[in-house]
A and B are shown apart, each in its own frame.
Chain A
Amino acid sequence: MTQDRPNPLRRASVLGAAFVSGFAIMCIEMLGARILAPYFGSSVYVWGSIIAVFMLSLAFGYLLGGRLSARHPNPITYALFFVGAALFSLPIVLVADSVMELIFDQVADPRYGSLLAAILLYFVPICIMGMISPYSVRLLVENEQQSGSMTGLLFFTSTLGSFLGTILTSFYFVLWFEVNTIMWGSAGALLAAAIAVVTIHGRPTALPATARH
């Protein structure tokens, strides 16, 4: 485990990655209602479905990520969350229309239609993104004295990412790009975060781990 002991650069990479994840979550959420609207309208329940499913996905993600962080926490697994989130958000670009078409024909009530569509499209990628938060904490924290401040720092960073993801997507991205382009962009950002984490953690630490005490 000594190799995975946090140093400032590694910490920064984890915080940066968590920022990207927070950004991507809200970016995808803001586009969610836009993606569902052609099939289920822009009624208030479409937003309700999106937000409800995101909350549920994150809840299970937190639980699962926390469990996983207890067993051999390592940056490779951490990076794989980002790769997984990126890959599983691609169906939103590639098959969303056929999925929603199918639901539209089967489920007459647009409330349950939009809820089902949101579950099928968003549960897996957002759940994986939820796993990132507790796992980040595990990678950042060295001892229990730090746990509160590191968790606070992590929440601050990822929520700041969410803030920017929300505002930039709704104010500007939709004005500049197509919905799918933005989706590809967030998948790309998640992959880039994975690469950055692996690269930085793969570098030898500046000081031998034992010399840091």
Chain B
Amino acid sequence: MNAFAWVKRGILVLAAGLLTLPFFATLSVSAEVIHEERSLYRDITVVQNGPRRCLIFNIRIGDRNQTCVDVNDTDKLVFAYTRMSFAGLLLQPEPKRILVAGLGGGSIPMTLTDLFPDAVIDVVEIDRAVYNVAKEYFFFAENPNMKVSILDARVFVKQAGREGVKYDYIVLDAFTGDYIPEHLLTREFLDEVKQIMTPDAVLVANTFSTSAFYDHESVTYQDVFGQFFNFKLPTSGNRIIITRLTPLPERAELTSQAQVFSERLRKYDIPILEYPVRLSTEVDWDMSRRVLTDQFSPANLLRDN
């Protein structure tokens, strides 16, 4: 990189800093930090702003909220990506055994157990501090059908594979403050996930829709699963990958399933009827990008390039 480019980059960084400054200023005025702790993996901050309570990882480097709840209406899903993850129900309407990787504030597993009280739900979360915060501040509660394992998701999935445990609904939502951990993005990991899916299982993976890394990620999912639904909304920076082992359903099938669910999902604020038209199989990434493997997965370096 030449000197000019460095200067340019410096100016950009400075500008970005100045732009985000008002955000932090407002944050400090109207929002109140109600809990702060440094876990083994990250800084955890819980911020309350009116009725909205949010979990933030690594606040100092300007990370976005991991999850938020409305303390007056805890059923309501505040974030678009959380709501979007329920589009998986269009492909698997009756999950019986569910795996959620990444607890966060616990809104996805809480909604799932509320919807399907008989389903057995395993949640895997690496950070015990996140688990404690979810229970204390985000109304997360385990029940006889829903248990949390404090473990790395890769280890959990591999163990489940060895034990022959299978799931019919899998949500991958494991994020550090930065992005998805590198060893949860590789072809080998997705192959291990594949092994714990029942023939009718759906896989729902939360990713980001921006960044150069998008291409590598898409190519990797394509390599393992063939086709997948790419689910993006203009209002969200997230891209939800939805796939299964058998060929993907037609749109008509998704639409009729959405109608079945529409009423049940209303109390969570999930506009499921709007989702079928957004589930796209169109390739909008650079197919020539390298597949991520355990040998090559510089995810968090690629993200900025």
Contact = CB atoms under 8 A, between A and B. Distances in A.
A175 B126 contact: no
Contact of A180 (B41, B155, B183, B295): B295
Given A37-B183, A38-B183, A42-B181, A175 B302 contact: yes
A41 interface: yes
B152 A38 contact: no
Given A37-B182, A41-B183, A179-B294, A174 B151 contact: no
A104 interface: yes
Interface in B28-86: 40-41
Interface string A157-196: 0000000000000010011011110000000000000000
B1 interface: no
Contact of A42 (B152, B293, B298, B302): B152
A104 B188 CA distance: 16
Contacts of A171: 301
Interface residues of B, number: 24
Contacts of A41: 126, 151-155, 183
B131 interface: no
Nearest to B127: A43
Interface string B261-304: 00000000000000000000000000000000111111001100
A110 B296 contact: no
Contacts of B188: 38
Contacts of B301: 171, 174-175
Contacts of B41: 44
Contact of B40 (A40, A44, A104): A44
A110 B181 CA distance: 17
Contacts of A42: 152, 154, 181-183
A40 B162 contact: no
Nearest to B186: A38
A105 interface: yes
A39 interface: yes
A99 to B, nearest CB: 15
Interface string A26-60: 00000000100111111110000000000000000
A171 B298 CA distance: 9
Contacts of B181: 42
B189 A38 contact: yes
A43 B295 contact: no
| B153, B154, B155 — most chain A CB neighbours (10 Å) | B155
A46 to B, nearest CB: 8
Contact of B152 (A110, A178, A179, A180): A110
B155 A178 contact: no
B158 interface: yes
B51 to A, nearest CB: 35
B189 A40 contact: no
Given A42-B183, A175-B302, A110 B295 contact: no
Nearest to A173: B298
Nearest to A180: B295
| A41, A44, A175 — most chain B CB neighbours (10 Å) | A41
A38 B154 contact: yes
Interface string A123-157: 00000000000000000000000000000000000
A39 B155 CA distance: 6
A201 B92 CA distance: 71
Given A34-B294, A171-B301, 7 more contacts: A37-B182, A37-B294, A38-B189, A39-B158, A41-B152, A110-B152, A174-B296
23 contacts: A34-B182, A37-B154, A37-B294, A38-B158, A38-B183, A39-B158, A40-B152, A40-B155, A41-B152, A41-B153, A41-B154, A41-B155, A42-B181, A42-B182, A42-B183, A104-B158, A110-B155, A171-B301, A175-B298, A175-B301, A177-B296, A178-B296, A179-B295
Nearest 10 CB-CB pairings of A with B: A41-B152, A178-B295, A37-B183, A175-B298, A174-B298, A41-B155, A44-B40, A179-B295, A178-B296, A175-B301
